[in-house]
A and B are shown apart, each in its own frame.
Chain A
Amino acid sequence: GQNIDQPTEMTATEGAIVQINCTYQTSGFNGLFWYQQHAGEAPTFLSYNVLDGLEEKGRFSSFLSRSKGYSYLLLKELQMKDSASYLCAVREGAAGNKLTFGGGTRVLVKP
C-alpha cells in the first residue's frame, strides 16, 4: 500500500512564506498532486509534478524528488484566504488512476 505523510498543522503570518512537506512511499508512481481544501468544501487542484524539479504557478510552487519520495508545496505572499488544508496526493499508474491522499496540512494564516 501507499504511505503519505505531511505535517498536521502549520501557522504563518500574512505576507510570509510557508513550505509544506510531503513524503511518500508508493509503487507505480505516476504523479503527485497538491490540492487545497477549505473546511466543508471540495478539494481544488493547485499543482502537479511528475518529473523531478520545481513547478511554479503564481504564488504557489511545488517541488518533487522521486528518488527521495519527497515533495513540497511553497506558498508565497500569504493571504488570509490561504487559510485552508493542503492535501498531498499521489497517483498510481494502475488502470484506475486513483489518487491516494495524505492527511492534509491545515495552514492558519494570521494577520
Chain B
Amino acid sequence: EPEVTQTPSHQVTQMGQEVILRCVPISNHLYFYWYRQILGQKVEFLVSFYNNEISEKSEIFDDQFSVERPDGSNFTLKIRSTKLEDSAMYFCASSERLGTSDIYEQYFGPGTRLTVT
C-alpha cells in the first residue's frame, strides 16, 4: 500500500540553526500539507501546497517557515532559524485531490521529531 515517507525520523538542532524536513508524498497525490504536534497537544495545521504554490497557511507559518517541492517526488519544510518552541513532531500529509463531496482523505507520514536545544 502506498505511503507517505519522511526523513529524518528525529532531528536535533541548536537554537538559531536552519533545518529542512523532508517528505515523499504518495506518488499520484496532488495536494501536500505540513502539520505539527507539540508533545501532549493537538495536531495543528501549518500549510497546504498545490501546483507549486501555497494554498493556505496558518498563523504559525510565519516568515521563518518555507516549503518547496524541489523535484517530482520530494516536499520539504524549512525552518530558517529554529526556536525552542519549534520543538514538535512534524507530520507531512498528502491527498489525491481537494475534498468536496468526496472523501479524499489526507494520508499522514510517520513524522519527524524535531528537538531544538
* A residues lining the B interface (CB < 8 Å): 30-31, 33, 35, 41-45, 48, 50, 87, 89, 91, 93-104
Contact = CB atoms under 8 A, between A and B. Distances in A.
B106 A99 contact: yes
A44 B99 contact: no
Contact of A97 (B42, B48, B58, B101): B48
Interface size class of B (residues with CB under 8 A): 20 to 34
6 cross-chain pairs, A with B, having the tightest CB-CB distances, nearest first = A96-B56, A96-B48, A42-B108, A96-B55, A101-B43, A98-B45
Contacts of A104: 42-43
B68 interface: no
B107 A45 contact: yes
Contacts of A99: 33, 35, 43, 45, 106
B99 A31 contact: yes
Given A30-B99, A42-B91, A48-B105, A102 B42 contact: yes
Interface of B: 31, 33, 35, 41-45, 47-48, 55-58, 91, 95, 98-101, 103, 105-111
A48 B41 CA distance: 23
A88 to B, nearest CB: 10
Given A98-B33, A98-B58, A102-B42, A43 B108 contact: yes
